[in-house]
Amino acid sequence: MKKIFITCFVFTLHLLFIASAFASTPGEIQGLIVSHMEDIPLNSTQIDTEWSVPDGYTGYFYAKFTTASEYTQYTFDEDTTEGLLSNTTGTTSYIHNSSSDETYYFHVAAVWLDEYEEEAFGPTTSYGPIIVDITPPSCNVDAPSSTTTRTVSLSFLTDDAIKIYVSNISYGEGAELDLSANNPMSWDLSEGEGLKRVYVRFKDRAGNNCDTYKDIQYYENTPSVVASIEEQFSPKNTSVSVSISITDTEGGDITMYAVSDSLTLVSIDNISITSIGGTGNNNAYTTSTSAGENVSLTLSIIPVTNMYGTTTISLTITDASGASSTTSFPLTIFIPGDLNNNGIVGLDDVQSTFHFYMGKNLPTSLQQNIANVYDDGIDNDTVSLHDLYGVFRLYNGFSLDQ
């Protein structure tokens, strides 16, 4: 008897039960091992449990699995054990045979018969949650259906997936990534234009997979195109109106602004862009276009009072993909009749006009515009005798009459 006592002293487990033999109820069960770790989902449907049965223990156990919705804690007593089979082996199993997931708890207590042959219950040990996860996660990828940049943003929708694999090749390729740290995620499509398939594998905590893909049309963006704008000429103190035609292959929102090289001749405030359907703000304009649509705009320029000379007007357009293109054209503001561009109409200018009229010299486009002081439609904008008369009037300090 003394020998047993010493052995029990060494083994705590034994001690508990044997020591309890002197009390009225058994101690708590010891050494519980369960095939499923607490709160860690597993897709194994068999739950195995095992606990220590001390040598010489003459009592038995009550053990029970409950679903989380039934009990997370349980107490075995004379009422709760009615009809329950006693366990003497210190081991039991449960088979999950539903097609959906479930969370279980396991409860176990040691029992023996007291001196009145009544069941004396030890404290109930509860273990859980035991998560049996046999269903794959739901899996959805949100991404643009088309793109003009190789890098796209992917976002992931799932119920219980925690890991993802993203690949341009196949499911499960590449690194295993934490979903929460990569949602949304920046992803590079494979090189070259065309239809790209992105493969995504979702994995839940139990290792169940769900595979899905997203097809993305990738094409390179073409910057907006402006129909070429001819060189412009205008007499001083006269507003200039230039028609512009714009197209964008892909369409979408386009923004533009126009600037002048020479601010003394044309300042930013002197430029305005107008059209129908968009929003203008002085020298800037924003509008929405459909793919390939021809958009007509008017660029209005009021040169600074009495200034003449040449400036470059540049129109910069940024398309919906952020690509910019700039189109420029020269604008020359001239003094009517001042062919040698010295600021006054002199005898030299009258002579040049005479030579153009006589066909002795052929005027350049600019000279033609300067000499053509009477653009009356009758002489077809050519330098006529009427224009020579006009330049002569200007030389003499008179205004142009009709």
Work out how close the CB of 204 gets to Ca ion at its nearest, in angstroms, rounded to a whole number. Answer: 4
Site string for Ca ion, 191-230 (x = CB under 5 A): -------------x---x------------x---------
Give the x-and-dash track for 32-51 against Ca ion (CB under 5 A): --------------------
Q: Which of 349, 353, 388, 391 binds Ca ion (CB under 5 A)?
A: 349
Q: For residue 377, how far is the Cα from the chain centroid?
A: 59
**Radius of gyration, alpha carbons of the chain:** 46
Closer Cβ to Ca ion, 35 or 135, answer by number: 135
- Interface residue with Ca ion, options 372, 391, 394, 395 (CB under 5 A): 372
Which residue of 62, 133, 198, 202 would you call a contact of Ca ion, by CB under 5 A?
133
Q: Which of 143, 226, 338, 390 binds Ca ion (CB under 5 A)?
A: 338
Residue 21 DSSP symbol: H
Contact between 135 and Ca ion by CB under 5 A: the answer reads yes
CA dist 56 and 321 (Å) reads 81
Cβ at position 376, least distance to Ca ion in Å: 6
CB of 348 to Ca ion, least distance (A): 6
**Binds Ca ion by CB under 5 A, chosen from 131, 147, 246, 387:** 387
Question: Which of 160/211 has CB closer to Ca ion?
Answer: 160
340 near Ca ion, rule: CB under 5 A: yes
Least CB distance from residue 133 to Ca ion, whole Å? 4
Q: How far is the CB of 342 from Ca ion (least distance, A)?
A: 4
Question: Is residue 248 a contact residue for Ca ion (CB under 5 A)?
Answer: yes
Calpha distance 35→139 (Å, rounded):
29
CA distance 373 to 28: 115
Q: Assess 102 for contact with Ca ion (CB under 5 A).
A: no
Among 67, 379, 393, 400, binds Ca ion (CB under 5 A): 379
Contact at 8 Å (CB) between 81 and 124? no
Between residues 111 and 335, which has the closer beta carbon with respect to Ca ion?
335
The answer to whether 62 and 123 have CB atoms below 8 angstroms apart is no
Q: Which stretch binds Ca ion (CB under 5 A): 66-74, 124-132, 348-356, 390-398?
A: 348-356
Residue span binding Ca ion (CB under 5 A) among the ranges 149-157, 226-234, 250-258, 262-270: 250-258
Rule CB under 5 A: choose which of 156, 250, 285, 370 binds Ca ion.
Answer: 250
Residue of 236, 293, 228, 220 whose CA lies nearest to 270: 236
Contact 210, 201 (CB under 8 A): yes
3-class SS shares of the chain: helix, strand, coil, % to 5: 15, 40, 50
The pair phi, psi for residue 351, each rounded to 5°, is: -65, -45
Q: Shortest Cβ distance from residue 308 to Ca ion (Å)?
A: 11
Q: Cα dihedral sign for 177, 183, 189, 194? A: positive
Tokens 């705590």 correspond to: 12
Minimum CB separation of residue 328 from Ca ion in Å reads 20
Separation of alpha carbons 209 and 6, rounded Å: 54
CB of 276 to Ca ion, least distance (A): 21
Question: Shortest CA distance to 137 belongs to which of 43, 11, 240?
Answer: 43
Phi-psi region of 277 (alpha: psi -120 to 50; beta: other; left: phi over 0): left
Residue ranges in 136-165 that form contacts with Ca ion under rule CB under 5 A = 160
- Is residue 320 classed exposed, middle or buried when 0-12, 13-18 and 19+ CB atoms within 10 A define those classes? middle
26 vs 29, 55, 59, 121, 377, CA distance in Å? Answer: 9, 14, 8, 6, 120
Q: Is 314 in contact with 325 (CB distance < 8 Å)?
A: no
* Pick 119 or 381: Cβ nearer Ca ion: 381
Query: Rule CB under 5 A: is residue 314 a binding residue for Ca ion?
Result: no
* Site of interaction with Ca ion (CB under 5 A): 133, 135, 160, 204, 208, 221, 248, 250, 319, 338, 340, 342, 346, 349, 372, 374, 379, 387
